[in-house]
Structure 1
């Protein structure tokens, strides 16, 4: 499922320097050096987007080791659950309908997905992948699915028909799984666990969703800029201080219609995109929670979405209504 960047970020090298009127990474390093800290930032392509890790600490060797292991953690999540990789465990499950001895990282995400599906009354449903295939195919031809095609496809969407067994995952014929509503947040969790194990106190993680711990190397809090859904290159709001994890689901990330009425987030009951909201941002103690709840709340709408998010301690949501 193709994705475009859904948020704007304040806190990494270039964005911070631009916001402060400074000169890029050299100024960033100078700020850190003034407090006796070294910094390291590494970026790459993973999970269908650009990922970046920014770390600060007193031992450069520790920072380099943490960066290497952080990117290994991202690659491991990709190998388990990315639909951008045809050889991932999830891609093989969708192809074959059964996956024996599944990757534990895939099992963790799927178990969470099924629990969230139950808690949200099916608003979050990891079996909506056939809807993506249907909509993307019609959009590529300049059209949209007819009602009959939507009814036929939604008949294959039902999280309760996924069989998560001790030694296998099984899907019924015609079903398909996507964990794109979780995988980037889960990757942020895995990276943060690596950084904690390395004793990295100050870090900003961008895996397509965001996580932060400690503070910026200049001694100020980390900040996160949220995109304006109707002008995604503009910042609508800045979260400061920012720590923990944040995820945004928006109708502008992958749209199938110019007015954003049709997009990559689907109501599993109808096969169409929810109509009430342009975006939802959830902050949470884990990336998995932030990512999953933002998708579920987008489908549920402001009132029911707020009730769902409120059921999870330490979580909060920001809603932008459709305009």
Structure 2
């Protein structure tokens, strides 16, 4: 769950300047996308928003694991049977995803798509699944069984029943791609926001930075911070809207792909950095790893800054963000 945590803020004064700002909200990749571009005139902005929509649609038709005709669906359909040839773009994205899995020791894993959905976060669960059911739910998960042949550009899933899916990582990749495309086309400022995976560049028409408000995960009708975007991407992963409580312990809807158990202890993680794709991988992994291991991971990557909020309301953030280290009220 990402989009509920970031509020994109515009300064109204920016709209009076020579450049124009245009925004469109559409549904792509099964989620809400907000596309905001700054251009010299309205027609240029609108035409380039069309280009962004077309590019995200193109990527979706390559990597969606919900559409039966995509290359990733063909890979899944042939799990345990045969390698499937894919485009170089799909191969490169898969390779980067596996690198993330190695960096996070499996806290991030695109083969999570094969996980049995034994946890329900719709209010219907009355008891925890058994340890045996939880263990069995991840029997087909394991990035080590994704075999890449770069020479022949093929992907092979070794075990029958395996599946891969990029989920929000694919949204981050698409947002990054669109930013690169717009810069190449001379669009000097904008935000491509794929369900909370934001890729940004330039400034608002009045020269001020793009600004986001970060929702208080413990009181979602309030903001706890307003942050100017000096990095080119920002992603928030959070768990406070979808969870269950058993024996006084909160279990979030983000599942550890290694163990089958839900993440605990962390309410939200926001990551700022040069790539929305990589920031997404880090934010998700930090939720799974928890406070100590998550902070240890992200601190190895100084190009990425973070805000982590625990279930107890503790806020830990990169020193460069200038946020006061304080505790949010849990009531």
Mark yes or no: TM-score above 0.5: yes
What SS does the aligned partner of 2:269 have? Answer: strand
Equivalent residue runs for 1:117-156 within 5 Å:
117-131=101-115, 133-136=117-120, 144-156=128-140
Which residue is 1:284 aligned to?
Answer: 273
Equivalent residue runs for 1:1-323 within 5 Å:
5-11=3-9, 16=10, 28=12, 31-32=13-14, 34-97=16-79, 100-131=84-115, 133-136=117-120, 144-166=128-150, 167-171=153-157, 172-208=159-195, 209-252=197-240, 254-255=242-243, 261-323=250-312
**Residue pair 2:209, 2:228 contacting (<8 A) in 1 also:** yes
CA offset at residue 118 of structure 1? 0.8
| Deviation readout 1:190-231 (Å, 9 max, x if unpaired) | 110111011111112211211221111233211011122233
What SS does the aligned partner of 2:256 have? Answer: coil
1: distance between equivalents of 2:231 and 2:211? 8
What SS does the aligned partner of 1:224 have? Answer: strand
**Residue pair 2:238, 2:267 contacting (<8 A) in 1 also:** yes
What SS does the aligned partner of 1:195 have? Answer: helix
2: distance between equivalents of 1:132 and 1:317? 31
Count matched residues.
305
2: distance between equivalents of 1:152 and 1:146? 10
- Residues 274-283 or 73-82, more deviating: 73-82
1: distance between equivalents of 2:121 and 2:162? 17
In structure 2, the gaps of 5 or more residues are: 313-331
What SS does the aligned partner of 1:145 have? Answer: coil
**Residue pair 2:146, 2:155 contacting (<8 A) in 1 also:** yes
What's the RMSD between the two structures over aligned residues?
Answer: 2.6
**Residue pair 1:77, 1:105 contacting (<8 A) in 2 also:** no
| Deviation readout 1:135-156 (Å, 9 max, x if unpaired) | 3599767665321111122232
**Residue pair 2:65, 2:164 contacting (<8 A) in 1 also:** no
Which residue is 1:23 aligned to?
Answer: none
Flag the 1:4–1:185 CA change in 2: closer, same or farther, 3 A: closer
2: distance between equivalents of 1:271 and 1:238? 35
- Residues 159-168 or 287-296, more deviating: 159-168
CA offset at residue 41 of structure 1? 1.2
**Residue pair 1:181, 1:295 contacting (<8 A) in 2 also:** no
TM-score when normalising by structure 1: 0.84
2: distance between equivalents of 1:224 and 1:260? 31
TM-score when normalising by structure 2: 0.82
In structure 1, the gaps of 5 or more residues are: 21-27
| Deviation readout 1:36-59 (Å, 9 max, x if unpaired) | 112221220012221011111214
- Residues 36-45 or 255-264, more deviating: 255-264
Flag the 1:60–1:254 CA change in 2: closer, same or farther, 3 A: same
What SS does the aligned partner of 1:36 have? Answer: coil
